[in-house]
Structure 1
Amino acid sequence: MNNNDVLRRIRYALNLNDNKLLKILDMGGNPIKREDIPTLMSKEDDQNYAETPDTVLNAFLDGLITYKRGAKDEK
């Protein structure tokens, strides 16, 4: 399983639309353009396939935590 698979499965499991996906990536510190979403969601046999970098997946997971739990309180 590669980063594209992980990102795609989490997106569909949580029913995240493009706007939510962009917001989560922005919260994680790696904003992307709407035009880049099909590349992130592509499978290995798709024509526009490009492997999602670890930094993008990391930003998505960090942003997802913030999105679901809220911002971390600084003490």
Structure 2
Amino acid sequence: MTNNDVLKKLRVALKLRDDDIVEILKLVDFNMSKSEIGAFFRKEDHPKYMLCKDQVLRNFLNGLVIYYRGTREQPKDATPKKITAKPKTK
């Protein structure tokens, strides 16, 4: 599994748009344009395809932590998000 695959799966799972990803990267002072982000989601045989390097994925994951939790100095939300699971039926 490549970094591009990981980024694609996180994008779908968290329902993020390219604008959201750009903003998340800005939280860790890592600037990229929407067109650069879009190149990660293209097919490998596309001429504008770009390989997502470790540095980009690492900064995205660090930004994602800040996006959802806030920083240690200034928490984004004082109450943790509740995850409600559906009861299992037999």
Q: TM-score, normalised by structure 2?
A: 0.73
Gap runs ≥5 in structure 1? none
| Equivalent pair of 2:28/2:62 in contact (CA under 8 Å) | yes
| Equivalent pair of 1:24/1:63 in contact (CA under 8 Å) | yes
Q: Quick one: which amino acid aligns to residue 52 of structure 2?
A: T
Shift of 1:53: 1.0
Q: Counterpart of 1:56?
A: 56
Matching of residue 71 in structure 1 with residue 71 in structure 2: yes
Q: Counterpart of 1:37?
A: 37
In proportion to residue count, which structure has more helix? 1
Cα distance in 2 for residues equivalent to 1:23 and 1:53: 18
Cα distance in 1 for residues equivalent to 2:64 and 2:16: 11
**Identity rate, percent:** 38
Gap runs ≥5 in structure 2? 75-90
**CA distance change for structure 1 residues 42 and 28 in 2, over 3 Å: closer, same or farther?**
farther
The count of residues paired between Structure 1 and Structure 2 equals: 74
Cα distance in 1 for residues equivalent to 2:43 and 2:62: 23
Matching of residue 2 in structure 1 with residue 16 in structure 2: no
Cα distance in 1 for residues equivalent to 2:28 and 2:44: 25
Q: Counterpart of 1:13?
A: 13
Bigger radius of gyration among the two: 2
Secondary structure at the residue paired with 2:15?
coil
Quote the RMSD (CA, aligned, Å).
1.5
Q: TM-score, normalised by structure 1?
A: 0.86
Shift of 1:18: 1.8
Secondary structure at the residue paired with 2:5?
helix
